[in-house]
Structure 1
Amino acid sequence: MLLTEMAPPPGAQEVAGLRAGARTARRRAFVALCASIALLTTVQVLADRATTREQALPLAVLSLALFAAALPALAVTQYVWGARARRLRRRERELYAVARSGRTRPLSRLAVACGWAATLLLGWTVPRFFRDAALYGFADALSWAVEALSVLSAAAGVLFLLWWARDAVGILARVLRPGGSPGDPWDPGHGTRPREGAALWTGAAVAVAALLGARAHLWEPATGVIYALLTAALVCGVVTDE
């Protein structure tokens, strides 16, 4: 009997489905992160260029709304990603005694942490836009909230670094251990990922980095270029997600 005519081993189809679900959750988490940073950065760059109170106020409100929406969106999408990845690793260990997935987990987690840091730093500048709009009382209240959030964020960052280092060392030890997963030749997703995905993610990352550079005043692009970069980041993310 040919290999292609043999029935897949028990659990192979389930693992294939779990891998597909984990990849989908990962893509959605990165799309949410990319879109949050791109939108928030674009609005703040435009708010920086506002010349009157009437122009600054709507952009300040939009910046606050985007920041408030970004935090739960990032938390939910990343929680779903983590839950599906843990379920996949448990099933892989049950079938193969070794979890094939997860070797790039430290890098992806570090990238997500950098995204969180960028989002929080952008959010901490929101009170200044309300001061520019002459809403000083509201800006002072936001500043107090930002200070409290910054303390919590710093504590969470220290805990993350400790947890990340422990997890990275554990993964490295498992990689160096002899033996490994026999693989799953019946997995329809293995080895068939479109190469265009890497190019699209690279394009989105470059666009977001360019927007962050403009927000940090490392360069001063025209307003049309800002909108083009935002469009590129969102389009690359959406196409990649599909």
Structure 2
Amino acid sequence: MTSMPSTHVAPPPGAQALTRLRARARAARRTALIALTGQIALLSCAQSLAERAATGQEAPQAVPPLAVLSLILFAGGLPVLAVTQAAWGSRERAARRRERELYAVRRETPGQPLSRLVMACGWAVTLLLGFTLPRLFEAAGWHGLASASTTAVEALSLVSVAAGVCFVTWWARDALGIAARAVRRGRPPADPWDPGRGRSARPARSAALWTGAGAAVAVLAGTRAHLWEPPAAVLCALAAATLVCGLVTDE
């Protein structure tokens, strides 16, 4: 009996290694998003509760524990955000270098500039929340700590403005380059050698979870901006829901 010819097509050399690089990049992106949404959610929640404690207690000494917690979250969160996003960028660059080696073309997605802009907006919200910390210590009567934090915030604001100008310049140049290449090349062909992107259920589930996390973060940030005043239990539940949504995502 003659055997039927196999219809299985072997992937091109290096495609499996590229798939692993892309998976590592997606994992790094997930970690960076968890860090960013968690930072904004926890910082907004802690600061909102601290302000409520300041207005709801006769003794201002009730404020420092929550204000100090906000300071710890902010000071500890900035390095975490920087490290996780640097790791994401490094893994993305490694995957793109391998793509160029294999296919002589770099895969680009139309939503890439938008995702970078969203991350930058997340940084801006985090910094704005940190810049309100001196007022919490001033309200608590801790003038020394308020003065020290004000000095730190002023220095950080100068660095932030410089970093923002550099980002906008780089982002605009990169976004225009992506748009120009998209117009010149047209729609790129689908890549059959990335099975991690071929499953529709997981991306849809992850998109729904990230949408829920984003909505919770927006409510918490709006509370910090005094757009609405939900109960303290709701604030804590929203902060917890943000972390849970991020942790249970697949990518």
Structure 1 length as normaliser, TM-score? 0.95
Paired position in structure 2 for 1:38: 41
| SS of residue in 1 equivalent to 2:129 | helix
1:206 equivalent to 2:215? Answer: yes
How many Å apart are 1:102 and its aligned residue? 4.5
1:179, CA displacement in angstroms? 6.1
Which deviates the most, 124-133 or 184-193? Answer: 184-193
Alignment partner for residue 103 of structure 2, among 96, 102, 105? Answer: 96
Name 2:15's counterpart in structure 1: 12
1:233 pairs with 2:236: no
State whether residues 203 and 233 of structure 1, in contact with CA within 8 Å, keep that contact through their aligned partners in structure 2: yes
Deviations 1:10-42 (A, max 9, x none): 011011111111111111100000000000000
> What whole-Å deviation, never above 9, does each CA across 1:148-167 have from its counterpart, x for those lacking one?
11111011111110100000
- 2-structure distance, mates of 1:149, 1:35: 21
Q: Which residue of 1 aligns with 2:77?
A: 70
The amino acid that maps onto 1:212 is: A
1:90 and 1:183 map into 2 onto residues whose CA distance is: 18
Q: How many residues are matched? A: 241
**Does residue 221 of structure 1 match 2:224?**
no
Give the distance between the partners of 2:197 and 2:6, measured in 1 at CA. Answer: 20
CA offset at residue 211 of structure 1? Answer: 0.3
- Which is greater in Rg? 2
Aligned residue for 1:9, secondary structure, equals coil
Cα gap change, 1:224 to 1:179, in 2 (>3 Å): closer
Verify the 8 A CA contact 2:108 2:178 in the aligned structure 1: no
Task: Report the Cα distance in structure 1 between the residues aligned to 2:45 and 2:249, rounded to whole angstroms.
Answer: 21
Would you identify which runs of 4 or more consecutive aligned residues in structure 1 move more than 6 Å? none
- Contact kept, 8 Å, 1:100 with 1:183, in 2: the verdict is no
Residue matched to 2:66: 59
Comparing 210-219 with 51-60, which one deviates more in the overlay? 51-60
- The reply to whether residue 107 of structure 1 matches residue 110 of structure 2 is no
Q: Over the residues paired in the alignment, what is the CA RMSD in angstroms?
A: 1.5
Q: Is the 8 A contact 2:43 2:73 kept in 1?
A: yes
1:174 to 173, 178, 181: 181
Task: Indicate if the aligned counterparts of 2:48 and 2:224 stay in contact, CA closer than 8 A.
Answer: yes
Tell me by how many angstroms 1:241 deviates. 5.1
Residue 54 of structure 1 deviates from its aligned partner by 2.7
Which ranges of structure 1 fall in alignment gaps of 5 or more residues? none
Q: Give secondary structure in 2 for the equivalent of 1:113.
A: helix
After TM superposition, give the deviation of residue 187 of structure 1 in Å: 2.0
- Segments of structure 2 that go 5 or more residues without pairing to the other structure are none
1:98–1:180 Cα contact (<8 Å) kept = no
Q: Which amino acid aligns with 1:27?
A: R
Paired letter, 2:235: I
After TM superposition, the score normalised by the length of structure 2 is 0.91
Offset at residue 48 of structure 1 (A): 0.6
Percent sequence identity is: 60
> Aligned letter for 2:178?
I
Secondary structure of the corresponding residue to residue 67 of structure 1: helix
Q: Tell whether the 8 Å contact from 1:34 to 1:204 is kept in structure 2 after alignment.
A: yes
CA contact (8 A) 1:97 1:181 kept: no
Which of the numbers 160, 183, 194 marks the counterpart of 1:187?
Answer: 194
> For residue 164 of structure 1, what is the amino acid of its counterpart?
W
| Correspondence list, 1:17-32, <5 A | 17-32=20-35
Task: Name the residue aligned to 1:147.
Answer: 154
Deviation at 1:233, TM superposition (A): 0.8
